[in-house]
Amino acid sequence: MARMLSETDAKGRSGTMILIGAGCAAFMNILDSTIVTVSLPTITQDLAVDTGFGVAVLLAYTVMLAGAVLPMGRTADRWGIRRVMMAGFALFTASSLVCGLAPSFPVLVFGRLLQGIGGGMLSATSLAAVGYYFPPESRGRGIGMVSAASAVGAALGAPLGGFLSEFLGWRFIFLVNIPVGVAAFWIVSRYFPADPSSLSLPRRAIADLPGIGLSVAALAVFLIALNRGATIGWFSPFIAGGLALAAVLLAVFIVHERRCPDPLLDLDLLSDTRLCLANLANVCTSMMIGGFLFLMPFYLIAVSGLGQSATGGFLLIVSGAYILMSPLTGRLSDRIGNRLLTTGGMTLAAAALAFAAAATGFTGLWIPVVFLALVGIGYGTYLAPNNRQILLFAPEEKQGAASGIIRFFFYIGQPVGVVLVESVIRRGIPTDLLAEAGRAETGPFQAGLLVCLTLAALSAGFSFFAGRGRKDSHPDRRE
């Protein structure tokens, strides 16, 4: 186990530099999702692929994130946070160069797959660094700051992606990662404490390779079937067979994990009903925000008639609201607990999405300003307290695995949300999106917002029941 900082050190220079390193990991991870989302219309048009196939640029990254984040969390528990985070920065930066120089669509997707592996390393260790190094009474603040760094990545991604795509070309949305990655690698190598030579778990190779393969295969097959269902037909043999195969792979994965002596998914961490409900809320929230952020660039261009740069500026609203709320609610959860914040945040997001769906088709740019701000506030209110709750109840020696589980369920939800919303809005996206801006049919986009509304409402319900029946503390920890 790595050395935990004292409360004084956690609030001093040592804690600050650890938060900067962990924040950079979270920042790069989220930046590369949002910067690609807003640039996807340009990428699909430039590489001459339709939206159904172009969405592979997003899915390649998120599927590999979901597949890598759990084993990387386990690897961090064995080999140390510092080692895994440095390797993640190195791979993420190198794969960004591959994406930026990609001569074809398949090479771009391959680069995104590599980015997903590096992103899994960064994602698993960003929150785990707080759990490893910070005492329990400071973790809410630390998680809030790392969550805020994620929000900064989301905030910069939208306007930066729109600006770079419109004025320099979409390749620069990947090349911009290189200086950030180099600087972050230096910070971690210079300021993170050296990993101890003896950790609480045996230092083996990456655990449970069959579990990794089964989980990635199940998710990939499910997403392919979900993505092509609206085109081929939901009851066609290909789609029905794909969904059935995904279900079989999932069942085999669960059975394997129960029997594996060193499983990828530590089911002991999910034996607490409260944590199960919190993770169900996590999945629904990630589906909601993934689908919403995928929908918004198309909505703002096709329905509201904005250009790419203006679209990026508008998406800054949701991220800006999230940035303001995350550190505040992280600190507040240390004082009042999680239930009110998680349930209230998702209830607010659901109300904002209901307003957006009802107002679709009405003129006035104030409408997206209002619902984007409210969704950002709701999401920012929810996220840090929910992450805090999950880490709080995980044993000290399994903080990497617990952080990996948070990200695993989050990254499972994101691509599913993207595919669900894409299948709903596909028929409403004009062939030449930029040329036909502001003249699209509104019905499909309204339906996409209703999908997001349903997911937010489910998350609010799970969050409400996750907070019932126990005091907001761990029996073995000082709060």
Residue range of the domain that includes 151: 7-191+264-466
Per-residue pLDDT of the chain in tens (479 residues, 90 and over written 9): 445 554 545 455 667 788 888 888 988 887 887 778 777 777 877 777 776 677 778 778 877 877 787 778 777 777 788 888 999 999 999 999 999 888 888 889 899 999 989 988 898 888 778 777 776 666 677 777 787 787 677 667 767 777 787 788 888 889 988 998 998 898 888 878 776 665 554 545 556 678 878 888 887 888 778 777 767 777 888 888 988 998 999 899 888 888 887 777 777 777 777 778 888 888 999 899 888 888 888 888 877 777 767 777 787 788 778 778 877 887 777 777 777 888 899 999 999 999 988 887 777 778 888 889 999 999 988 887 887 777 776 666 666 667 667 767 777 787 788 888 888 887 766 666 555 555 667 788 888 899 999 999 999 999 888 766 554 544 344 33
Domains in the chain: how many in total? 1
Number of neighbouring beta carbons within 10 Å of residue 335: 8
In a domain, 258, yes or no: no
Q: Residue 474 phi/psi, 5° resolution?
A: -95, 135
DSSP string, 27-45: HHHHHHHHHHHHHHHHHHH
Asked if 451 contacts 424 with a C-beta cutoff of 8 angstroms, the reply is yes
In a domain, 127, yes or no: yes
pTM of the predicted structure, to 2 decimals: 0.71
In a domain, 471, yes or no: no
**Residue 81: partners with Cβ closer than 8 Å, 6 or more residues away:** 2, 125, 128, 129, 132, 133, 192, 195, 400
In a domain, 225, yes or no: no
In a domain, 307, yes or no: yes
Q: By CB neighbour count within 10 A (0-12 exposed, 13-18 middle, 19+ buried), where does 431 fall?
A: exposed
Helix (H) or strand (E) holding 281: helix 273-302
In a domain, 292, yes or no: yes
Cα of 342 vs its chain's centroid, Å: 17
Both tokens of 350, joined, read 């659901």
In a domain, 186, yes or no: yes
Q: How far apart are CA 269 and CA 275, in angstroms?
A: 8
The enclosing domain of 285 has a CATH number of: 1.20.1250.20
Q: How far apart are CA 38 and CA 165, in angstroms?
A: 9
Asked if 406 contacts 390 with a C-beta cutoff of 8 angstroms, the reply is yes
In a domain, 366, yes or no: yes
